[in-house]
Amino acid sequence: MKPTLFVLAAGMGSRYGGLKQLDGVGPQGQTIMDYSIYDAIRAGFGKVVFVIRKDFEQDFRDKVLSKYEGHIPVEVVFQDLHDLPEGYTCPADRTKPWGTNHAVLMGKDVIKEPFAVINADDFYGRDAFAVIGKELSKEHDRKGDYCMVGFRVGNTMTENGSVARGVCSDKDGYLSSVVERTAISFDSAHRIVFTDENGTEQTLDPNTPVSMNLWGFTPDYFDYSEREFKKFLDKDLNTPKSEYFIPLCIDALINSGEATVKILDTDSKWFGVTYAADRPGVVEKLAALHAAGEYPDEMFK
């Protein structure tokens, strides 16, 4: 069974007004998302599901989905504030979406096979899709048999400021915890540093695995996830800015012993446009990948 790629794109339009992060950064105006779809196809994925907001469905179909027709089957699902489990009602004053794991839950009716989750506006690289595609194509004979791509932190940095990363700890190659570290940056000696909760500066080895939101799940994840989401709502339904993120659910499932998450190593370099100043560097990196023959000029003829 071929795995499915699940693209979290519901944030599109909110940060930039319209679909402006469909910014043409490739040499022929390719978007970052085009590279993910292209890499997923060559890694053996069989379908792409996008979660978007209903209010830009037409724009999305016209500008995005049309180009993938004939290359891979695509489906669209919608993230809506009011789409909560039975018995829960969205507070009237809530404006903020419920977070990445709520977005993942929107796929439960259309995804029946192992699937990878990615952010729409991050570049993950060919090798990252190859390693997770291979893992998801294996036989899964038990529930809670998940994986994630652990990017080497040194391959995810920007020279233009600090970044937040989920720093992973592992036991025998399996995830034991993800700790969100904010303000990771290069120091004057170009070491990778962050300040811990005690105010102490810590150095990170460039090969330390970090989560860049490239997860691999089997469909049983939806049931676990809905259960954990209800627990979150019981506690935080009326907290206006509370969000339900993928690592929160993963953490709960690892701690309960219901899931294991294999960390997959990759030499792919992750990049995204965290800062406006990142854009020229992204354009340059993509041009270099095309020049090296990693990607053809016409990706979706």
The packing angle between helices 246-256 and 221-236, to 10°, is 110
Q: Is residue 243 situated within a structural domain? A: yes
Quick check: is 233 in a domain? yes
List Cβ<8 Å contacts ≥24 apart for 92-96: 93/240, 94/240, 95/240, 96/240, 96/241, 96/243
CA angle, 99 as apex, 96 and 105 as ends, to 5°? Answer: 125
Pinpoint the alpha helices (H) of the chain.
32-42, 57-60, 66-68, 100-105, 126-136, 221-236, 246-256, 279-291
Distance CA 249, CA 227 (A): 9
* Distance of alpha carbon 179 from alpha carbon 282, whole angstroms: 27
Furthest CA-CA distance within the chain: 55
Decide if 191 is inside a domain: yes
Asked if the structure places residue 297 within a domain, the reply is: no
pTM: 0.94
> Which range of residues forms the domain containing residue 162?
4-291
163 domain residue, yes or no: yes
d(CA 49, CA 273): 23
Would 299 be classed as within a structural domain? no
- d(C-alpha 47, C-alpha 5), whole Å: 6
Domain count, the chain: 1
Strand partners, 215: 117, 148
CATH number at residue 179: 3.90.550.10
Walk along the chain (301 residues) and give the pLDDT tens digit of each residue. 899 999 999 877 544 445 555 788 999 999 999 999 999 999 999 999 999 999 889 888 988 899 999 999 999 999 999 999 999 999 999 999 999 999 999 999 999 999 999 999 899 999 999 999 999 999 988 999 999 999 999 999 998 889 999 999 999 999 999 888 989 999 999 999 999 999 999 999 999 999 999 999 999 999 999 999 999 999 999 999 999 999 999 999 999 999 999 999 999 999 988 777 888 999 999 999 999 999 999 999 8
Is 203 domain-assigned? yes
Assess if residue 173 is contained within a domain.
yes
Residues 64-112 pLDDT 10s: 899 999 999 999 999 999 999 999 999 999 999 999 999 999 999 999 9
